[in-house]
Structure 1
Amino acid sequence: MNHNDFRTIIESSRRRSIAADISCDQIYSKKIIDNIELQKKFAEKRNMILTAAPYMEQLINFVIDYNFFVLLTDGEGCILNVFGNEKILNEAFELKMIPGAYMDEESIGTNAMAVVLKTGSPIQLSGEDHFIKAYHRWTCSGAPIKDSHGKLIGVLNLTGYTEQVHPHTLGMVIAASNAIEEMLKVKEYHKLQNINYKHMNTIFNSMPVAIITSDLEGNIKLYNNQATELFGKADRLMEATRMNELIRNWESMIEVIENGENVEQDISIKNFSCHLTANPIYNPVDDSIEIVYIFEEIKKSNIAAYYTFDKIIGEDPNFLKIVQYAKKISDSKSTILILGESGTGKEVFAQSIHNYSSRMDAPFIAINCGAIPKEFMELELFGYEEGAYAGAKKGGSQGKFEQADGGTILFDEIGALPLDMQVKLQRVLQEGIITRIGSQKSIPVNVRVIAASNKDLKKEVESGRFRKDLYYRLNVLPLYLPPLRERKVDIVLLIQYFMKLICNKLNKKEVAIPKEYLKQMMNYNWPGNIRELENIVELIVNSETIPTEYFNQETGNEDINQEEEILDLAYVEREQLKKVLQKNNGNITRTASDLGIRRNTLYSKMKKYNIKI
């Protein structure tokens, strides 16, 4: 590109920026998304984010001795990921160049990413080439990322200070974006190949799940080794078996599949449970439709991380601050210690932290330290080699640390961990290696540890029941979950949530709870916290009666003669909004932040309840 062409492109972009009402004194992008909307964007662009990440890291490593940061945006200019040196990255974050911010011309004016989005070609801008003054300190090199059809799906951009401008910088960015494009093409090709070659035996038998295919009459066509192990049938018996002998209500499942729908459900087989997915596929060999069944055994010790932060129910401002703090520390490598009474949702938070971190696709292993006999604890955590003891499984067995490698391990009821195991856990946290029982080989493990306890571990340390060094190793990022009696504003909300959830699960009608009984529930101390509340709601749904005597056992100190209207969820929400607005002297931004909602949501609620500042 010659100088005249470059100036023409920049001038055209500046005219469009002016037309979009961008001010040169503007600092932040006009469009920044967050929370659920941003999570949806991450999920949508997950493949590109994961594919680009190693190349972005490599790009920063090339310029490690200088101040640079690298950005990845989608095809609309929304920032998806950021890597870089801490100093310049802090400056970028002050300008809200963060995931969720849009870098297109209409949102922030002329910059390298915006020009790439418009032209589809790589470009380097420095200093006053940028429209807004806040970016004049920087030089930016941007290059497009295109899919196999030539459609622009993202932009890679490397930014540093203007004195570091160099033509080679753009060359590095172009090379990295080309590499990302090629890797995306390879992944797309492999995806197509996996569809076309599902029946390849080498892949078929290496999968860690049981797979069977059958025709629409239930005659088994193919199966892998895991299927014979799962069902305990030799090859000749499996070939003679029909699907209705393996799956209860198979005929009903076929009706769903013949209507063009996939099946996904948990089923029981003998003495264990499986997660089953069944999908129809076209077999080009004989022009027929077959069904692929995938059985994944549900192991109680290896719990999938189901919960995410958007499933956590609550509107109490202090509780919402705890949720925000938990999100903030989710991607840290440091250990987290979650403290709180039984039933406050410690494992829910642990799973949500895992699912909000970069480890979300890796294993989540939960261990209840109080439920495993002392003599089996070491076997559970570290595994064993073949021949380690009489009856040891052939080939040995992985422990929980190996199973959780790359992911997260939760030590629930950590206070119940035996003292000798506390010493060994401390060593693993310190060195990052484990040794199987009966082996001398050290195995490195990359595991993020979360511990949870309903005990006061400081008192346990003082009494000699818990090691001080382990306590301080675990208590790097403490997270305290308040009991339900300290977040009473959420009680009605939780009752409504569990009422709908349980009624849907049990196929029952919702039970109306009279306000006088809601009043008692509001003022009950809930020693069992959220778990107790859920159980009571399930009792109400099943019995269709209110156990009034239950709530007379223990009550709080609040005035139980308050107006009945307080029991109405809308009233509770309105009063809470007024309270937080008053605390922040009417500041909309701070109030929205305290409530964990967006500004436009706050405005909508204020309009709904006729609240004026």
Structure 2
Amino acid sequence: MKKDVILQSHDRSKAYGIHTQQTFSSKILKEEGLEKVLQENRELIALSEPIINNLYNFVKGSGFFGILTDVQGCILNIMGDENVLEVAFELDMVPGAYMSEEHIGTNAMGTALWEKKPVQISGEEHFVKVYHRWTCSAAPIQDPKGNIIGTLNLTGYSNLVHAHTLGMVVAAVQSIELALKHQQAKDKLLWSRQYAGTIIDSIPKGILTLSPRGYIKSINRKGQKIIGASQDALIGVPAKEFFVDWPKVKSAFSHQRYPLKSRTYIQHHHKSLEIDLELHPIFDARENRNGMICIFTEVPRVSQLDQSKPHHKMYTFDKIIGRNKKFLNTLEYAKQIANSPSTVLISGESGTGKEVFAQSLHRASDRQDQPFIPLNCGAIPKDLIESELFGYEEGAFTGAKKGGNKGKFELAHRGSLFLDEIGEMPLFMQTNLLRVLEDREFYRIGGSKKIPVDVRIIAATNKDLREEVEKGNFRKDLYYRINVLPLSLAPLRERKDDIPLFIDYFMTTKSLKLQKEPFTLSKDQLEEMLHYHWPGNIRELENMVEQLVNAQSTAPYAQENSGISPGFEVAKEEPSSAANPSPPVKPLEIVEKDHILQALNYFNHNITAAAKALGLGRNTLYRKMDKYGISR
């Protein structure tokens, strides 16, 4: 039976034009195409990752690696021992490579998709000779409706072939399919809750629920508005601290099965309100009291104490500015992946808002109430970054703090760890980071106790990490490990239609901050800003507006001083002529070099001041100076 499957697969491989000497898949997606496929399969990737982790931990050190593909055979995720992954990567078995028979001939993933059943292919059963070294066991993954949506595969050297390997893969696939069913049920339940929540939020009265022990469990929008506090601030507050005469109300209500109406007072922090209260008991299936629903309205002309609780809030998606179509697509994708536990890699030039997106991802996830811990990998000296990430025990080195110190991983436990400028991380630390991502545990420096950790990694870079991998500056296996959910932010020069929005926003906020009157830019000023290339992106635009607000507090004065910034110029077009056929504008690199030189001259070569004015980090400015041969 299996022999027939192999022979038929070989016949199909020949018909597809696959050659036995072929080394690589004939279809490997580039970054943009891969990002689209990863987005389409984000749920499968997220739900299967912990199961693949468990499978890998079971075979770890045995020379096997696991592969997840979509229904077309495109590799979505790959995980395994470093030594065997290096061999796989040399054969371009990487995310984006298609393992269908049509592109690489007979192999377990492609043949399992064709046969619609689990398959084990070993040694010379593979069609291409370069795969004769492998034994592969794959099984198709079905969604709750029975549609095949991908495959899970376990590959090792052919001398390791064992029938039980296929059984392990089948068991893992069953776990993934069960997770998909649970997710579907969870989505339906969530929809039901949202449906009910929408109805409750539309009621023009305050509604809150109390647990059997008398703690606030939920409150609708109208209730939050009446009280002047968010649901997060109110959940868990005891009723006895919330209702002024709660013992009296509770006593009157305790033996009744029907609603009780009462006029009472509620208090929260410095706010006190008189309300009309209606209490309804909640009963479980055995007719036992299981809490209560409180419906309330504010009594007109209440006596109310003023309250103000200024506090720093993290960025959220609803605070992000933009109307550019490409940017809005990126924003929508970010919202969709926010609740995934998978690693996100945010790429974009300096000043494009990578940390804003990182914070928003965290705030939109189910980890929002847990820590968000940032670490700028480019700002920490190489000899300190290990202790920053992993912490240290007392006496680990000279000057170590008494009692030791927690690292960023420990501080971010159950939350999110934001690794900014990850491309600057030293190679030795990349190895350590990869190990923690795979094992989910680590040792403090000088420690002997393993510390388990549950963090969601959000990484960011302004470098092309693929290029860094080719240069040997960044580990290929770490790149694929962190690039599960890639998120690319466009530079400001590709979002010209958003510039007026940013100007209005920064003009308002900077005027308030500096206690100056906001003004409208002249037409010439706005034109200059729209035609400027903004190497420092949004951060540079923010600094530019702040400079204008500092220097100009009235509209007439602003009209007279239309230059974008002291000492800074925009490369303007010159009229072309037959005698002068040169391009009307300078090449971008020349403009950028001139712009950097102007900034350095203006600030007397003060790197910190120039970098801030340009909207760049110091390290980024140094790299650009080296690139253009500008002396330090």
Corresponding position: 1:144 with 2:140: yes
**CA displacement 1:186-228 (0-9 Å, x = unmatched):** 222333344456799xxxxxxxxxx563497856777663444
Task: Answer whether contact 2:276 2:297 (CA < 8 A) is retained.
Answer: no
Q: Quick check: 2:107–2:126 contact (8 Å CA) kept in 1?
A: yes
| TM-superposed deviation, 1:84 | 0.5
Shift of 1:513: 5.4
Asked if the contact 1:79/1:101 (under 8 Å) is kept, the reply is yes
Q: CA deviation at 1:448?
A: 2.4
Shift of 1:90: 1.5
Q: Does 1:77 align with 2:84?
A: no
Cα distance between partner residues in 2 of 1:537 and 1:66: 63
Q: CA deviation at 1:166?
A: 0.9
1:302 aligns with 2:271: no
1:286 aligned partner: none
C-alpha separation between the residues in 2 aligned to 1:94 and 1:492? 37
Deviations 1:518-566 (A, max 9, x none): 79957999997232356799999x979976543473146x9x787357x
In the alignment, which residue of structure 2 is the partner of 1:28?
A: 24
1:529 aligns with 2:585: no
CA RMSD of aligned residues (A): 5.8
Identify the residue that residue 277 of structure 2 maps to in structure 1.
236
SS in 2 for 1:225: strand
SS at match of 2:44: helix
| 353 and 30 in structure 1: CA distance in 2 versus 1, 3 angstrom threshold | farther
Counterpart of 1:39 (choices 35, 42, 56) is 35
- Residue type of the alignment partner of 1:213: I
1:571 Cα deviation after fit: 7.4
Larger Rg: 2
Distance of aligned partners of 1:498 and 1:94 in 2 relative to their CA distance in 1, 3 Å threshold: same
Other structure's SS at 1:213 match: helix
What are the ranges of 5 or more consecutive residues in structure 1 without an aligned counterpart? 201-210, 243-269, 274-298, 315-329, 365-401, 416-421, 435-442, 453-469, 471-476, 482-489, 578-613
SS of equivalent residue, structure 2 residue 99: coil
Q: CA deviation at 1:63?
A: 1.4
For the residues of structure 1 that align with 2:59 and 2:497, how far apart are their CA atoms?
51
Call closer, same or farther: CA 1:549–1:448 in 2, change over 3 Å: same
- The structure-2 alpha-carbon separation of the partners of 1:576 and 1:519, relative to structure 1 and needing over 3 Å to count, comes to same
Structure 1 match to 2:574: 563
Structure-1 separation of matches of 2:118 and 2:164: 13
Q: 1:410 to 1:94 in 2, by over 3 A?
A: same
Q: 1:128 to 1:543 in 2, by over 3 A?
A: farther
Give the deviation of 1:450 after TM superposition: 4.7
- The structural deviation recorded for 1:236 is 1.8
Amino acid at match of 1:95: L
Question: Which residue does the alignment assign to 1:345?
Answer: 351
Residue 199 of structure 2 aligns with an amino acid whose one-letter code is T
Change (3 A) 1:448 1:153: same
Counterpart in the other structure of 2:199: 213
- Superimposed CA distance per residue, residues 561-596 of structure 1 (whole angstroms, 9 cap, x where no aligned partner): 87357xxxx97799889xxxxxxxxxxxxxxxxxxx
Contact 2:574–2:584, Cα closer than 8 Å, also in 1 = no
User: Does the 8 A contact of 1:363 with 1:408 survive in 2?
Assistant: no
Contact kept, 8 Å, 1:502 with 1:538, in 2: the verdict is no
- Structure 2, unmatched stretches of 5+, are 210-216, 228-265, 267-274, 279-293, 299-306, 328-341, 381-398, 422-444, 446-458, 464-489, 508-519, 577-582, 591-632
Query: 1:22, 1:169 → 2: CA distance?
Result: 28
Partner of 1:112: 108
* 2:417 is the counterpart of 1:448: yes
Partner of 2:493: 493
Which AA in structure 1 matches 2:60? I
Tell whether 2:370 aligns with 1:403.
yes
Structure 2 distance, partners of 1:165, 1:553, is 71
- Per-residue CA deviation, residues 94-117 of structure 1 (Å, 9 max, x unaligned), is 222222222112222221111111
> Would the alpha carbon gap of residues 230 and 67 (structure 1) be closer, same or farther in structure 2, given more than 3 Å must change?
farther
Seen in structure 2, the aligned counterparts of structure 1 residues 89 and 521 have a Cα distance that, compared at 3 Å, is closer
Q: How does 1:91-240 map to 2 (within 5 A)?
A: 91-196=87-192, 213-214=199-200, 218=204, 225-227=218-220, 228=223, 231-232=226-227, 236=277, 239=295
Contact 1:77 1:114 in 2 (8 A): yes
| Deviation, structure 1 residue 150 | 1.6
Could you tell me which residue of structure 2 aligns to residue 10 of structure 1? 6
Question: 2: distance between equivalents of 1:25 and 1:546?
Answer: 71
- The one-letter amino acid of 1:403's match is Q
Q: Deviation per CA, 1:495-538: give whole Å up to 9, x if none.
A: 824336559999xx999759995799579999972323567999
